[in-house]
Structure 1
């Protein structure tokens, strides 16, 4: 039969200042009784007063802000005290303190293959805190080590679910709308938080925030991928230039035709189009050549 997960519950505790005062009053009473009348009955009352003082003071413990105290009675969980300051509980209870403050760590740079098998380096910053102290203390051996191990596993799994980038993969169906590690920062961050939360739930830990802090191709392919990105950028730029040049040539021919400035046959139109495209698409300034003859000479 599977063991049910532990569940945090409120402990029965009280303000420690009250029990400090009660202990002081009991101690003063014991001194007064011994001073006033040293009889067997008075001695018993004094011992009872001293025992009361010990009882009041032995149950005191201090909790700082955002610190919880798990109260244990001979190995049995009795509840969690989340009130800060000087507190008091049954002196037979053992108080185990756990911080519920937000904590963060940067994972190490991991080398993982992305969705397309490219080796990349990735790291993440994760902010987390203990939400259920009972689960953190009793359901895992060491919740801090558990967080570190599960965070690494989550980052590796996330990386294998996304491509690093879709640059150069426009020929693939849906590549333009694909969420990648580089372009889908918000979506990838949300997926990482969901993955971490699912893994941390066993230890009673909630994920406050999680974001990628390092993302790059592995050194062995970084140079090759950079050249590929540069080539893709050049092709995209050239395609844009050609589209603009064709539009400008079309506009020029239409303007000449509408204004009836000159009549061009097909051969002259072809020559004009060729010259304009060379001028508009060239990487360097065009050098004009004055033609003193005609196309037919």
Structure 2
């Protein structure tokens, strides 16, 4: 059964029939907390270890129809994606994930197959990040809304900020770039094939350890690539008062994304440079640093001759500017 498309017609009970605490019990029963959790769900608040004395925290929201569609993605996929995009932000500070709080709003008619699937996705991705779901909230709303708060531990290290890039640094990336945007384009076009790209859009899979690896290697700045490579490096350039130039010949345009671009008549670089939701990582490192395994140097940092900016092969990028929450687009 397609849970997403037919959830209102499902024969399973609805959230209204099971009740708030019944849905919560289904989400938490039998789950094992990570070693970071001192007190998990069941009380007024959770307690999470913070041996470092500092807690890294971030939050993000997803709204059905805007950030995900249940006719394109399963509830498990959506749950994983919601946690992944927050966990990637923790990693982008050079920290390790320690816990996730989940707030869910949904119509009373929502099938518990949907909430069960979401919960399974939340837990799967939290565990992949080395953490667990430590608490949250469930309320009735007119549409399905997910809000995740992620917590992290710096383990005694300073956070890696966007403002640390310096002239002379190199720019390096880790992970697939443009795959999520390509997968979305395939779905929007109703095309078959290109499964790896579609999967990358449905369920991003950040390599959480890479944030820590970058920090240990001396990264001067670090960001999760969620809005698009040019856009996110633009945040670094602005915060650091530097300019960044990317070498397009060094960017990975492998056969998977080239095939989809050819099929749809789209420029590969428009996805690689402007596509969002990859949850890859981009960092700047001193030129003398040993770049961590798996990272690829794709550009360099210089002092701005004018306003801080990002260029590609020495020229302003004329493609998509990257994701914006108020640009009128949907997933």
Band the TM-score falls in, shorter-chain normalisation: under 0.3
**Which of the pair has more CA radius of gyration?**
1
TM-score (norm 2): 0.17
TM-score (norm 1): 0.19
Relative contact order, CA 8 A, sep 6+: which one is greater?
2
Higher helix share: 1
